[in-house]
Structure 1
Amino acid sequence: MCGIMSRNDSLNEFKPFDGMTIVLGGDFRQILLVVRKGTRQDIVDASINSSKIWAYFNVLRLTVNIRLDASLVPAEQKEIANFGNGEITVEIPEELLISDATNLLMSLTDFVYLDLNDNLGDPLFFQERGILAPTLDSVEHVNEYMMLLIPELWNSKSPVETKGGMSVMLMRNIDRANGLCNGTRLTVTHLGKSMIAATVITGKRAGTNVTPRFPNIKISKHLSEYSA
Protein backbone atom coordinates (compact mmCIF):
# COMPACT_ATOMS: atom_id res chain seq x y z
CA MET A 1 0.00 0.00 0.00
CA CYS A 2 3.04 2.22 0.29
CA GLY A 3 2.83 5.19 -2.07
CA ILE A 4 -0.79 4.70 -3.16
CA MET A 5 -2.26 7.56 -1.13
CA SER A 6 0.66 9.90 -1.78
CA ARG A 7 -0.10 9.83 -5.51
CA ASN A 8 -3.31 11.77 -4.83
CA ASP A 9 -1.88 14.05 -2.14
CA SER A 10 1.84 14.75 -1.93
CA LEU A 11 1.49 15.71 1.76
CA ASN A 12 0.58 12.11 2.60
CA GLU A 13 4.11 11.08 1.72
CA PHE A 14 5.27 12.25 5.14
CA LYS A 15 2.46 10.58 7.10
CA PRO A 16 2.41 7.01 8.46
CA PHE A 17 0.79 4.61 5.98
CA ASP A 18 0.67 7.51 3.49
CA GLY A 19 -2.22 9.07 5.44
CA MET A 20 -4.42 6.00 5.20
CA THR A 21 -6.67 5.33 8.21
CA ILE A 22 -5.60 2.13 9.98
CA VAL A 23 -7.73 0.51 12.70
CA LEU A 24 -6.15 -1.83 15.24
CA GLY A 25 -8.05 -3.87 17.80
CA GLY A 26 -6.89 -5.70 20.88
CA ASP A 27 -6.47 -5.80 24.63
CA PHE A 28 -3.04 -5.59 26.23
CA ARG A 29 -4.45 -7.39 29.27
CA GLN A 30 -5.01 -10.46 27.14
CA ILE A 31 -2.38 -12.76 25.63
CA LEU A 32 0.69 -10.86 24.46
CA LEU A 33 3.00 -11.65 21.57
CA VAL A 34 5.15 -14.75 21.73
CA VAL A 35 8.82 -14.00 21.14
CA ARG A 36 10.81 -17.20 20.78
CA LYS A 37 13.25 -17.45 23.69
CA GLY A 38 12.54 -13.80 24.41
CA THR A 39 12.69 -12.05 27.73
CA ARG A 40 9.94 -9.99 29.33
CA GLN A 41 11.52 -6.87 27.82
CA ASP A 42 11.65 -8.49 24.36
CA ILE A 43 7.91 -9.13 24.52
CA VAL A 44 7.21 -5.56 25.61
CA ASP A 45 9.43 -4.19 22.83
CA ALA A 46 7.59 -6.31 20.24
CA SER A 47 4.19 -4.89 21.23
CA ILE A 48 2.63 -2.28 18.97
CA ASN A 49 2.53 0.34 21.73
CA SER A 50 6.34 0.25 21.82
CA SER A 51 6.54 1.21 18.15
CA LYS A 52 7.69 4.69 17.15
CA ILE A 53 4.45 5.15 15.19
CA TRP A 54 2.28 4.49 18.28
CA ALA A 55 2.26 8.21 19.02
CA TYR A 56 0.26 8.76 15.81
CA PHE A 57 -2.61 6.51 16.94
CA ASN A 58 -5.71 7.78 18.70
CA VAL A 59 -6.62 5.29 21.43
CA LEU A 60 -10.35 4.63 21.89
CA ARG A 61 -11.25 2.58 24.97
CA LEU A 62 -14.24 0.23 25.14
CA THR A 63 -15.79 0.68 28.58
CA VAL A 64 -18.76 -1.72 28.40
CA ASN A 65 -17.90 -5.33 29.25
CA ILE A 66 -20.41 -7.37 27.24
CA ARG A 67 -19.08 -10.59 28.74
CA LEU A 68 -20.55 -9.80 32.14
CA ASP A 69 -23.55 -11.92 32.97
CA ALA A 70 -26.74 -9.97 32.33
CA SER A 71 -28.21 -11.46 35.50
CA LEU A 72 -25.72 -9.60 37.69
CA VAL A 73 -26.94 -6.51 39.48
CA PRO A 74 -25.22 -3.22 38.50
CA ALA A 75 -23.17 -3.18 41.73
CA GLU A 76 -21.72 -6.63 40.96
CA GLN A 77 -21.00 -5.65 37.35
CA LYS A 78 -19.11 -2.56 38.51
CA GLU A 79 -17.12 -4.60 41.05
CA ILE A 80 -16.05 -7.14 38.42
CA ALA A 81 -15.12 -4.38 35.96
CA ASN A 82 -13.08 -2.57 38.62
CA PHE A 83 -11.29 -5.79 39.48
CA GLY A 84 -10.37 -6.34 35.83
CA ASN A 85 -9.03 -2.78 35.64
CA GLY A 86 -6.90 -3.31 38.74
CA GLU A 87 -8.77 -0.64 40.68
CA ILE A 88 -9.68 -2.77 43.71
CA THR A 89 -7.91 -5.33 45.87
CA VAL A 90 -9.26 -8.67 46.99
CA GLU A 91 -8.73 -10.03 50.49
CA ILE A 92 -8.48 -13.82 50.61
CA PRO A 93 -10.35 -15.31 53.61
CA GLU A 94 -8.11 -16.84 56.27
CA GLU A 95 -9.73 -20.26 55.86
CA LEU A 96 -8.48 -20.39 52.26
CA LEU A 97 -4.85 -19.61 53.11
CA ILE A 98 -2.21 -22.31 53.58
CA SER A 99 0.41 -21.05 55.99
CA ASP A 100 1.53 -23.89 58.25
CA ALA A 101 2.23 -26.67 55.74
CA THR A 102 5.68 -28.05 54.96
CA ASN A 103 4.56 -29.11 51.46
CA LEU A 104 2.36 -26.33 50.11
CA LEU A 105 1.50 -28.05 46.83
CA MET A 106 0.44 -31.24 48.60
CA SER A 107 -1.69 -29.27 51.04
CA LEU A 108 -3.27 -27.30 48.18
CA THR A 109 -4.19 -30.38 46.12
CA ASP A 110 -5.48 -32.21 49.21
CA PHE A 111 -7.70 -29.22 49.97
CA VAL A 112 -9.05 -28.80 46.42
CA TYR A 113 -9.24 -32.48 45.41
CA LEU A 114 -10.11 -34.21 48.67
CA ASP A 115 -10.79 -37.96 48.12
CA LEU A 116 -9.54 -37.67 44.54
CA ASN A 117 -9.23 -41.40 43.80
CA ASP A 118 -12.76 -42.05 45.05
CA ASN A 119 -14.21 -39.50 42.62
CA LEU A 120 -12.26 -40.08 39.40
CA GLY A 121 -15.42 -41.17 37.58
CA ASP A 122 -17.55 -38.27 38.79
CA PRO A 123 -17.56 -35.33 36.30
CA LEU A 124 -19.30 -33.11 38.87
CA PHE A 125 -16.35 -33.53 41.22
CA PHE A 126 -13.99 -31.92 38.68
CA GLN A 127 -16.58 -29.43 37.45
CA GLU A 128 -16.68 -27.79 40.86
CA ARG A 129 -12.91 -27.70 41.38
CA GLY A 130 -9.85 -26.18 39.78
CA ILE A 131 -6.42 -24.77 40.58
CA LEU A 132 -5.38 -21.47 39.01
CA ALA A 133 -1.71 -20.67 38.55
CA PRO A 134 -0.04 -17.35 37.63
CA THR A 135 2.65 -18.73 35.29
CA LEU A 136 3.09 -21.58 32.82
CA ASP A 137 5.90 -22.99 34.95
CA SER A 138 3.50 -23.20 37.89
CA VAL A 139 0.88 -24.87 35.69
CA GLU A 140 3.37 -27.53 34.59
CA HIS A 141 4.49 -28.07 38.18
CA VAL A 142 0.92 -28.60 39.39
CA ASN A 143 0.04 -30.83 36.42
CA GLU A 144 3.09 -33.05 36.97
CA TYR A 145 2.16 -33.51 40.61
CA MET A 146 -1.49 -34.24 39.80
CA MET A 147 -0.38 -36.84 37.23
CA LEU A 148 1.36 -38.75 40.01
CA LEU A 149 -1.82 -38.84 42.09
CA ILE A 150 -3.99 -40.39 39.37
CA PRO A 151 -3.50 -44.15 38.78
CA GLU A 152 -2.81 -45.30 35.21
CA LEU A 153 -5.88 -47.19 34.01
CA TRP A 154 -4.30 -48.35 30.75
CA ASN A 155 -0.94 -48.44 29.07
CA SER A 156 -1.06 -45.41 26.81
CA LYS A 157 1.67 -44.75 24.25
CA SER A 158 0.41 -41.26 23.59
CA PRO A 159 2.99 -38.45 23.97
CA VAL A 160 0.24 -36.28 25.48
CA GLU A 161 0.96 -36.00 29.18
CA THR A 162 -2.42 -36.93 30.60
CA LYS A 163 -4.31 -39.92 31.94
CA GLY A 164 -7.82 -41.26 31.94
CA GLY A 165 -9.91 -39.50 34.55
CA MET A 166 -7.76 -36.37 34.49
CA SER A 167 -9.34 -32.96 34.05
CA VAL A 168 -8.05 -30.92 31.09
CA MET A 169 -8.86 -27.55 29.52
CA LEU A 170 -9.13 -26.66 25.84
CA MET A 171 -6.95 -23.74 24.78
CA ARG A 172 -8.52 -23.13 21.36
CA ASN A 173 -11.88 -23.19 19.58
CA ILE A 174 -12.46 -26.56 17.89
CA ASP A 175 -16.22 -27.15 17.66
CA ARG A 176 -18.41 -24.41 19.11
CA ALA A 177 -21.64 -26.25 18.32
CA ASN A 178 -20.62 -29.04 20.68
CA GLY A 179 -19.19 -26.72 23.30
CA LEU A 180 -15.53 -27.34 22.43
CA CYS A 181 -14.32 -23.78 22.85
CA ASN A 182 -11.35 -22.07 24.43
CA GLY A 183 -11.69 -22.52 28.19
CA THR A 184 -13.95 -25.61 28.09
CA ARG A 185 -13.02 -28.16 30.75
CA LEU A 186 -13.24 -31.89 30.09
CA THR A 187 -12.48 -35.19 31.78
CA VAL A 188 -10.36 -37.61 29.73
CA THR A 189 -12.11 -40.96 29.25
CA HIS A 190 -9.90 -42.65 26.67
CA LEU A 191 -6.49 -42.14 25.09
CA GLY A 192 -5.85 -43.56 21.64
CA LYS A 193 -2.87 -43.45 19.34
CA SER A 194 -4.17 -40.41 17.49
CA MET A 195 -7.30 -39.37 19.37
CA ILE A 196 -8.58 -38.39 22.80
CA ALA A 197 -12.10 -39.13 24.06
CA ALA A 198 -13.45 -36.95 26.84
CA THR A 199 -16.57 -35.79 28.66
CA VAL A 200 -17.44 -32.09 28.81
CA ILE A 201 -17.82 -30.99 32.45
CA THR A 202 -18.55 -27.27 32.06
CA GLY A 203 -21.07 -25.14 30.17
CA LYS A 204 -24.38 -26.08 28.59
CA ARG A 205 -22.86 -29.22 27.05
CA ALA A 206 -21.74 -30.66 30.39
CA GLY A 207 -22.05 -34.44 30.38
CA THR A 208 -21.59 -34.74 26.60
CA ASN A 209 -19.10 -37.35 25.42
CA VAL A 210 -16.88 -35.96 22.67
CA THR A 211 -13.92 -36.96 20.55
CA PRO A 212 -12.25 -33.66 19.61
CA ARG A 213 -10.61 -33.61 16.19
CA PHE A 214 -7.36 -31.71 16.32
CA PRO A 215 -6.01 -30.33 13.01
CA ASN A 216 -2.64 -31.59 11.88
CA ILE A 217 0.22 -29.33 12.90
CA LYS A 218 3.07 -28.82 10.45
CA ILE A 219 6.43 -28.60 12.17
CA SER A 220 9.14 -26.54 10.52
CA LYS A 221 12.80 -26.26 11.42
CA HIS A 222 12.77 -22.67 10.24
CA LEU A 223 11.10 -20.75 13.05
CA SER A 224 10.79 -17.01 13.29
CA GLU A 225 11.42 -15.07 16.48
CA TYR A 226 7.65 -14.88 16.99
CA SER A 227 7.16 -18.66 16.86
CA ALA A 228 6.18 -20.45 20.05
Structure 2
Amino acid sequence: MLDARPAAGKESISTDSFSVRSKITNTPPPIFHDRVSREDNILLQINSVRSQIVDASLKRSFLCDHVEVVGLTTNLRLLTEDHSDEREFANYFLMQEREFKIKSDFVYADLKNNFTNPVWLANRTIVTPTYEAAQFVNDFLLTRTLGELNIYRSSDTVDNETLYSIKFINKLTPLGFSPHIIKLKEKRCIMLLRNLNATNGHCNGIHYIIVTLRDHVIETEIASGPYAGSTLPIPRIPHASQEMEFPLTFKRKQFPVKPAFALTCNKTQGQTFEQIGIYFPTQFFSHGKLYVVSSRVRKKANVKKIG
Protein backbone atom coordinates (compact mmCIF):
# COMPACT_ATOMS: atom_id res chain seq x y z
CA MET A 1 0.00 0.00 0.00
CA LEU A 2 1.52 3.29 -1.12
CA ASP A 3 0.01 6.22 0.74
CA ALA A 4 0.00 9.70 -0.84
CA ARG A 5 2.22 8.51 -3.68
CA PRO A 6 1.49 11.47 -6.01
CA ALA A 7 3.52 13.62 -3.62
CA ALA A 8 6.60 11.70 -4.77
CA GLY A 9 8.18 11.80 -8.21
CA LYS A 10 7.62 9.40 -11.07
CA GLU A 11 11.03 7.80 -10.51
CA SER A 12 9.98 6.82 -6.99
CA ILE A 13 6.92 4.86 -8.07
CA SER A 14 8.88 3.30 -10.93
CA THR A 15 11.40 2.05 -8.37
CA ASP A 16 8.60 0.67 -6.20
CA SER A 17 7.15 -1.17 -9.19
CA PHE A 18 10.51 -2.70 -10.06
CA SER A 19 11.11 -3.75 -6.43
CA VAL A 20 7.73 -5.51 -6.17
CA ARG A 21 8.28 -7.33 -9.44
CA SER A 22 11.80 -8.45 -8.54
CA LYS A 23 10.69 -9.84 -5.17
CA ILE A 24 7.99 -12.03 -6.68
CA THR A 25 9.69 -13.59 -9.69
CA ASN A 26 12.83 -13.42 -11.74
CA THR A 27 10.88 -13.04 -14.98
CA PRO A 28 9.50 -9.65 -16.02
CA PRO A 29 5.89 -9.69 -14.69
CA PRO A 30 3.19 -7.05 -15.30
CA ILE A 31 3.29 -3.67 -13.62
CA PHE A 32 3.24 -4.15 -9.82
CA HIS A 33 2.48 -7.84 -10.55
CA ASP A 34 -1.27 -7.34 -10.05
CA ARG A 35 -0.71 -5.96 -6.56
CA VAL A 36 -3.07 -3.25 -5.28
CA SER A 37 -1.57 0.20 -4.84
CA ARG A 38 -3.54 2.76 -2.85
CA GLU A 39 -3.06 6.29 -4.16
CA ASP A 40 -4.82 9.03 -2.17
CA ASN A 41 -6.51 11.82 -4.13
CA ILE A 42 -3.64 14.04 -3.09
CA LEU A 43 -3.46 15.30 -6.67
CA LEU A 44 -6.10 17.75 -5.49
CA GLN A 45 -3.62 19.12 -3.02
CA ILE A 46 -0.91 21.65 -3.71
CA ASN A 47 2.26 20.66 -5.43
CA SER A 48 5.11 22.48 -3.74
CA VAL A 49 7.61 22.01 -6.57
CA ARG A 50 8.42 24.51 -9.31
CA SER A 51 6.85 24.34 -12.73
CA GLN A 52 10.22 23.48 -14.28
CA ILE A 53 10.13 20.00 -12.75
CA VAL A 54 6.50 19.13 -13.41
CA ASP A 55 7.85 16.52 -15.80
CA ALA A 56 9.01 14.56 -12.74
CA SER A 57 5.45 14.17 -11.46
CA LEU A 58 3.53 10.90 -11.38
CA LYS A 59 1.25 11.91 -14.26
CA ARG A 60 4.28 11.99 -16.59
CA SER A 61 5.29 8.43 -15.69
CA PHE A 62 4.83 5.56 -18.15
CA LEU A 63 3.05 3.75 -15.31
CA CYS A 64 0.01 6.01 -15.72
CA ASP A 65 -0.88 4.10 -18.87
CA HIS A 66 -1.35 1.00 -16.71
CA VAL A 67 -3.40 2.61 -13.94
CA GLU A 68 -6.98 1.55 -13.29
CA VAL A 69 -8.90 4.09 -11.21
CA VAL A 70 -11.00 2.52 -8.46
CA GLY A 71 -13.11 4.88 -6.36
CA LEU A 72 -13.40 4.23 -2.62
CA THR A 73 -16.83 5.69 -1.93
CA THR A 74 -18.04 3.74 1.14
CA ASN A 75 -16.75 4.65 4.59
CA LEU A 76 -16.95 1.32 6.46
CA ARG A 77 -16.17 2.91 9.82
CA LEU A 78 -19.22 5.14 9.57
CA LEU A 79 -21.44 2.16 8.73
CA THR A 80 -20.67 0.37 11.99
CA GLU A 81 -21.50 3.16 14.44
CA ASP A 82 -23.56 6.30 14.64
CA HIS A 83 -21.13 9.02 13.55
CA SER A 84 -23.50 11.60 12.14
CA ASP A 85 -21.06 14.48 12.62
CA GLU A 86 -18.23 12.64 10.90
CA ARG A 87 -20.52 11.52 8.09
CA GLU A 88 -21.65 15.07 7.43
CA PHE A 89 -18.03 16.25 7.54
CA ALA A 90 -17.03 13.63 4.94
CA ASN A 91 -19.81 14.80 2.62
CA TYR A 92 -18.71 18.39 3.15
CA PHE A 93 -15.54 17.84 1.12
CA LEU A 94 -17.69 17.38 -1.98
CA MET A 95 -19.27 20.83 -1.54
CA GLN A 96 -16.38 23.19 -2.17
CA GLU A 97 -18.52 26.22 -3.02
CA ARG A 98 -20.71 26.09 0.08
CA GLU A 99 -21.78 29.36 1.72
CA PHE A 100 -20.57 30.09 5.25
CA LYS A 101 -22.12 32.54 7.69
CA ILE A 102 -20.34 33.03 11.01
CA LYS A 103 -18.89 35.68 13.27
CA SER A 104 -15.53 37.17 12.33
CA ASP A 105 -13.94 36.10 15.63
CA PHE A 106 -14.66 32.38 15.17
CA VAL A 107 -11.00 31.37 15.43
CA TYR A 108 -9.61 33.88 17.94
CA ALA A 109 -12.75 34.76 19.91
CA ASP A 110 -10.92 34.56 23.26
CA LEU A 111 -7.58 35.90 22.05
CA LYS A 112 -7.17 38.44 24.85
CA ASN A 113 -7.27 35.70 27.49
CA ASN A 114 -5.29 33.06 25.60
CA PHE A 115 -2.58 34.93 23.69
CA THR A 116 0.02 33.62 26.18
CA ASN A 117 -1.19 30.00 25.87
CA PRO A 118 1.18 28.32 23.37
CA VAL A 119 -0.96 25.23 22.77
CA TRP A 120 -4.11 27.29 22.19
CA LEU A 121 -2.31 29.53 19.70
CA ALA A 122 -0.60 26.71 17.81
CA ASN A 123 -3.84 24.77 17.29
CA ARG A 124 -5.72 27.44 15.37
CA THR A 125 -5.08 29.67 12.38
CA ILE A 126 -6.74 31.69 9.64
CA VAL A 127 -6.03 30.51 6.10
CA THR A 128 -5.81 32.88 3.15
CA PRO A 129 -5.06 32.43 -0.57
CA THR A 130 -2.33 35.08 -0.76
CA TYR A 131 0.60 36.29 1.29
CA GLU A 132 -0.76 39.84 1.27
CA ALA A 133 -4.04 38.72 2.84
CA ALA A 134 -2.20 36.73 5.51
CA GLN A 135 -0.05 39.74 6.34
CA PHE A 136 -3.15 41.92 6.67
CA VAL A 137 -4.78 39.48 9.11
CA ASN A 138 -1.57 39.10 11.14
CA ASP A 139 -1.17 42.87 11.49
CA PHE A 140 -4.82 43.24 12.48
CA LEU A 141 -4.70 40.56 15.19
CA LEU A 142 -1.44 41.88 16.61
CA THR A 143 -3.20 45.14 17.40
CA ARG A 144 -5.87 43.26 19.39
CA THR A 145 -3.39 42.01 22.00
CA LEU A 146 -1.39 43.81 24.65
CA GLY A 147 2.37 44.21 24.52
CA GLU A 148 5.07 46.27 22.87
CA LEU A 149 5.16 46.04 19.10
CA ASN A 150 8.63 45.44 17.64
CA ILE A 151 9.24 46.22 13.97
CA TYR A 152 12.19 44.58 12.19
CA ARG A 153 13.35 45.73 8.76
CA SER A 154 15.58 43.66 6.54
CA SER A 155 18.89 44.68 5.00
CA ASP A 156 18.55 44.32 1.22
CA THR A 157 21.26 44.53 -1.43
CA VAL A 158 20.98 44.21 -5.21
CA ASP A 159 23.62 43.60 -7.86
CA ASN A 160 22.69 46.62 -9.96
CA GLU A 161 21.27 49.52 -7.96
CA THR A 162 21.22 51.67 -11.10
CA LEU A 163 18.39 49.59 -12.59
CA TYR A 164 16.64 48.54 -9.38
CA SER A 165 16.30 50.76 -6.34
CA ILE A 166 16.42 49.37 -2.81
CA LYS A 167 12.88 50.66 -2.21
CA PHE A 168 11.69 48.48 -5.08
CA ILE A 169 13.59 45.47 -3.71
CA ASN A 170 12.00 46.00 -0.30
CA LYS A 171 8.58 45.32 -1.84
CA LEU A 172 9.58 41.91 -3.22
CA THR A 173 9.01 38.72 -1.23
CA PRO A 174 10.11 35.69 -3.26
CA LEU A 175 9.12 32.16 -2.29
CA GLY A 176 10.83 31.18 0.95
CA PHE A 177 11.91 34.73 1.78
CA SER A 178 11.11 36.63 4.93
CA PRO A 179 9.26 39.90 4.30
CA HIS A 180 11.12 43.19 4.41
CA ILE A 181 9.13 44.30 7.46
CA ILE A 182 8.24 41.91 10.28
CA LYS A 183 5.99 43.02 13.15
CA LEU A 184 6.26 40.93 16.32
CA LYS A 185 5.28 40.88 19.98
CA GLU A 186 6.59 38.71 22.78
CA LYS A 187 4.51 35.65 23.78
CA ARG A 188 2.96 35.49 20.29
CA CYS A 189 3.05 32.58 17.87
CA ILE A 190 5.37 32.64 14.84
CA MET A 191 6.30 30.18 12.11
CA LEU A 192 9.85 29.26 11.14
CA LEU A 193 10.58 29.64 7.40
CA ARG A 194 13.89 27.76 7.24
CA ASN A 195 15.33 24.46 8.44
CA LEU A 196 17.77 25.51 11.17
CA ASN A 197 18.26 22.28 13.15
CA ALA A 198 16.22 19.42 11.74
CA THR A 199 17.71 16.87 14.16
CA ASN A 200 16.13 18.66 17.11
CA GLY A 201 12.87 19.48 15.34
CA HIS A 202 13.63 23.05 14.28
CA CYS A 203 12.27 22.85 10.73
CA ASN A 204 10.41 24.96 8.22
CA GLY A 205 6.74 25.24 9.21
CA ILE A 206 7.17 24.64 12.96
CA HIS A 207 5.28 27.01 15.27
CA TYR A 208 7.14 28.83 18.04
CA ILE A 209 6.29 31.12 20.92
CA ILE A 210 8.45 34.23 21.22
CA VAL A 211 10.20 34.34 24.60
CA THR A 212 12.39 37.42 24.11
CA LEU A 213 12.79 39.90 21.26
CA ARG A 214 16.23 41.43 20.71
CA ASP A 215 17.78 43.48 17.93
CA HIS A 216 19.79 40.64 16.40
CA VAL A 217 18.25 37.47 17.81
CA ILE A 218 14.81 36.15 18.77
CA GLU A 219 14.61 33.71 21.68
CA THR A 220 11.84 31.18 20.99
CA GLU A 221 10.49 27.81 22.08
CA ILE A 222 8.46 25.25 20.15
CA ALA A 223 4.76 25.70 20.89
CA SER A 224 3.47 22.12 20.65
CA GLY A 225 4.23 18.63 19.44
CA PRO A 226 6.94 16.12 20.41
CA TYR A 227 9.56 18.88 20.72
CA ALA A 228 7.34 21.27 22.70
CA GLY A 229 9.37 23.54 24.97
CA SER A 230 12.60 23.08 23.01
CA THR A 231 14.30 26.48 22.76
CA LEU A 232 15.87 28.06 19.70
CA PRO A 233 17.67 31.40 19.30
CA ILE A 234 16.83 32.63 15.80
CA PRO A 235 19.34 35.04 14.20
CA ARG A 236 19.01 37.10 11.07
CA ILE A 237 20.12 34.99 8.12
CA PRO A 238 20.81 35.85 4.47
CA HIS A 239 18.37 34.96 1.68
CA ALA A 240 19.46 34.95 -1.97
CA SER A 241 16.98 35.24 -4.85
CA GLN A 242 17.05 33.03 -7.94
CA GLU A 243 17.31 34.41 -11.47
CA MET A 244 14.55 32.07 -12.67
CA GLU A 245 12.01 33.86 -10.45
CA PHE A 246 13.01 37.48 -11.07
CA PRO A 247 15.07 39.18 -13.82
CA LEU A 248 17.53 40.23 -11.11
CA THR A 249 19.38 38.83 -8.14
CA PHE A 250 19.32 40.36 -4.69
CA LYS A 251 20.08 39.39 -1.10
CA ARG A 252 18.07 39.96 2.04
CA LYS A 253 19.20 39.56 5.65
CA GLN A 254 16.23 39.07 7.93
CA PHE A 255 14.79 36.80 10.63
CA PRO A 256 13.41 33.64 8.93
CA VAL A 257 10.04 33.91 10.68
CA LYS A 258 6.55 35.29 10.18
CA PRO A 259 3.54 35.74 12.50
CA ALA A 260 1.29 32.67 12.53
CA PHE A 261 -2.15 34.12 13.28
CA ALA A 262 -2.82 33.67 9.56
CA LEU A 263 -1.09 31.46 7.00
CA THR A 264 -1.32 30.93 3.28
CA CYS A 265 -2.92 27.74 2.02
CA ASN A 266 0.46 26.31 1.01
CA LYS A 267 1.86 26.67 4.52
CA THR A 268 -1.01 24.72 6.10
CA GLN A 269 -0.55 21.62 3.97
CA GLY A 270 0.43 18.62 6.07
CA GLN A 271 -0.65 20.22 9.37
CA THR A 272 -3.65 19.58 11.62
CA PHE A 273 -5.46 22.28 13.61
CA GLU A 274 -8.33 22.34 16.09
CA GLN A 275 -9.88 25.45 14.56
CA ILE A 276 -9.52 27.11 11.16
CA GLY A 277 -11.07 30.20 9.63
CA ILE A 278 -11.02 30.72 5.87
CA TYR A 279 -10.50 34.31 4.77
CA PHE A 280 -10.36 34.89 1.03
CA PRO A 281 -10.81 38.46 -0.20
CA THR A 282 -9.75 36.96 -3.54
CA GLN A 283 -10.55 33.51 -4.89
CA PHE A 284 -8.21 30.56 -4.43
CA PHE A 285 -6.09 29.89 -7.49
CA SER A 286 -7.18 26.28 -7.93
CA HIS A 287 -9.93 23.87 -6.92
CA GLY A 288 -7.57 21.77 -4.81
CA LYS A 289 -6.59 24.57 -2.47
CA LEU A 290 -9.98 24.79 -0.79
CA TYR A 291 -9.86 21.03 -0.31
CA VAL A 292 -6.48 21.35 1.39
CA VAL A 293 -7.78 24.01 3.79
CA SER A 294 -10.93 22.07 4.68
CA SER A 295 -8.99 18.90 5.45
CA ARG A 296 -6.73 20.55 8.04
CA VAL A 297 -9.32 19.92 10.79
CA ARG A 298 -11.10 16.76 11.94
CA LYS A 299 -14.67 18.04 12.08
CA LYS A 300 -16.79 20.22 9.86
CA ALA A 301 -17.77 22.47 12.79
CA ASN A 302 -14.13 23.48 13.23
CA VAL A 303 -13.72 25.18 9.85
CA LYS A 304 -15.68 28.26 8.78
CA LYS A 305 -15.50 31.09 6.29
CA ILE A 306 -14.83 34.35 8.12
CA GLY A 307 -14.71 36.88 5.31
Residue 134 of structure 2 is matched in structure 1 by 139
- Could you tell me how far apart the structure 2 residues matched to 1:215 and 1:164 are? 20
Distance across 1 between alignment mates of 2:112 and 2:218: 21
SS in 1 for 2:183: coil
Correspondence for 2:220: 198
CA distance in 2 between partners of 1:100 and 1:216 (Å):
42
Instruction: Give the match for residue 30 of structure 1.
Output: 47
- Other structure's SS at 1:188 match: strand
Q: Determine which structure has more spread, i.e. the larger CA radius of gyration.
A: 1
Check conservation: 1:174, 1:213, Cα contact below 8 A.
Answer: no
Q: Deviations over 1:178-217 (max 9, x none)?
A: 2111221111222211111112112211122321345333
Note if 1:167 corresponds to 2:189.
yes
Residue 130 (str. 1) matches residue 119 (str. 2): no
Aligned to 2:176: none
Paired residues of 1:123 and 1:207 also in contact (CA < 8 A): no
1:118 is paired with a residue whose SS is: helix
Runs ≥4 residues deviating over 6 A: none
Check the 8 A contact 2:210/2:221 in 1, yes or no: yes
**C-alpha separation between the residues in 2 aligned to 1:98 and 1:58?**
40
What is the CA–CA distance in structure 2 between the aligned matches of 1:48 and 1:208, rounded to whole Å?
37
Indicate the percent of aligned positions where both proteins have the same amino acid: 21
Contact 1:173 1:180 in 2 (8 A): yes
Alpha-carbon distance, 1:134 to partner: 2.7
- 2:152 aligns with 158
2:239 corresponds to 1:217: yes
Counting matched residue pairs gives 156
User: Which ranges of structure 1 fall in alignment gaps of 5 or more residues?
Assistant: 1-22, 34-42, 50-56, 64-73, 77-87, 102-106
Cα separation, partners in 2 of 1:179 and 1:75, compared to 1, 3 Å: farther
Question: 8 Å contact 1:123–1:187 — kept in the other structure?
Answer: yes
Structure 2 counterpart SS, 1:204:
coil
- Counterpart residue identity of residue 226, structure 1: E
Q: 2:200 aligns with which of 174, 178, 181?
A: 178
Q: Describe how 1:1-228 pairs up with structure 2 within 5 A.
A: 29-33=46-50, 48-49=54-55, 58-59=61-62, 90=93, 98-99=100-101, 107=104, 110-153=105-148, 156=150, 158-159=152-153, 160-217=182-239, 224-227=243-246
Unaligned runs of 5+ residues in structure 2 are 1-9, 13-41, 68-75, 79-90, 154-181, 250-307
1:186–1:198 CA contact under 8 A, matched in 2: yes
Structure with more strand by fraction: 2
**What is the DSSP-based 3-state SS (H/G/I as helix, E as strand, rest coil) of the residue aligned with 1:131?**
strand
* In 2, Cα distance between equivalents of 1:30 and 1:75: 30
Deviation readout 1:45-92 (Å, 9 max, x if unpaired): x5654xxxxxxx64557x9xxxxxxxxxx979xxxxxxxxxxx86168
RMSD of equivalent CA atoms:
4.1
CA deviation after TM superposition for structure 1 residue 24, in Å: 6.8
Equivalent residue of 1:217, what SS?
strand
> Do the aligned residues in 1 keep the contact of 2:118 with 2:224 (CA within 8 Å)?
no
The amino acid of 1:158's aligned partner reads: Y
> 1:121–1:48: structure 2 CA closer, same or farther, 3 Å change rule?
closer
Q: TM-score, normalised by structure 1?
A: 0.52
Query: Displacement of 1:30 after TM fit?
Result: 2.1
Shift of 1:126: 1.0
Instruction: Tell me how far 1:127 sits from its aligned partner.
Output: 2.6
Q: TM-score, structure 2 length as denominator? A: 0.41
Q: 1:216 to 1:91 in 2, by over 3 A?
A: same
Name which structure has the greater RCO, CA cutoff 8 Å, separation 6+.
2
